Structure 1
Amino acid sequence: MLPVFPARIEHVEAAFGCGVVGPVGVVLWRGEPTAERLERATLVFERATNDLARYAMFAVWEPGSPPPNVAHLPEIARRFDGLDRLRATVGIIEDRGPLARMLVDVASTIFVMRRRRGQPLKLCTDLAEGASWVARRVDEPPQLADAVIALVQRLRTSLP
């Protein structure tokens, strides 16, 4: 019998959506990550993963989604340090233009600014590659990768 990974959408708004599938919290960014939106996204993600003993973050930046302002990076790094049950983070950067390089730089900077660097970070452009990697990181079967991709697609269609 194939494993079943329950999935739920926790929150959607114009700029981002958040959900959870199995031991993976998923955040999909479609708009500018302002300070207020980052605050809401953090609270929603913490609520979505609150009942998980250990989990991974799967963040997707859709094409055209800008990175957060550099002034917000220390606060983002501090919040990551507070996620003590986080096992790994995947960032999927779907933009192929100049924003892609900026997003890679910002994600790498946040990772370096963190005090707790025990959780690995993977940045890539392919949903399937990232989902497969995250399934291995949380010691789950490959079917979790399909469930993560399905939740990303549900979030895409749920955002206004």
Structure 2
Amino acid sequence: MSRLDSMLRRFTAQRDGLNWAAQHIAGLPGDVLDLGLGNGRTYDHLREILPDRRIWVIDRVLQCHPSCVPPKQDFLAGEARPMLEKLHCLRARIALAHYDFGSGIKAEDVAEAARLSPVIARVMQPGGLIVSGQPLVGFQQICGPDTIAPERYLFYRA
């Protein structure tokens, strides 16, 4: 599979997974968390499908497209662990989290996701959902939408 085809498959899985998760948290109180802003595409999509939810964003630096800049009070700039701890201190409860951190080096990305999993768990609303590009630990893995190939995107319940 070409890298272009792989990217298109990943983006489609990401969109379908977020749409599915947004439907499944209807009625569950809590905010949304985007872990890894990047260019801002996912954040922009979350704003569109969950317009009534507060969307927290964590990333090392703000370098997204100008149309996708989150409100200053919702953007936590810095390393993930201390920013998740800050979010916990703010008593935020997350109904839906999207985990999209990664360097592209699979072993390092899997290890980082495992290290961050317990801190993510501390901010999740019980019953909340996590849509992730990396395997997480300590959560109940669930099946996402049928349109997504197994292991392309992962789905968890807190």
Give the TM-score normalised by structure 1.
0.41
Per the normalisation by structure 2, the TM-score is 0.41
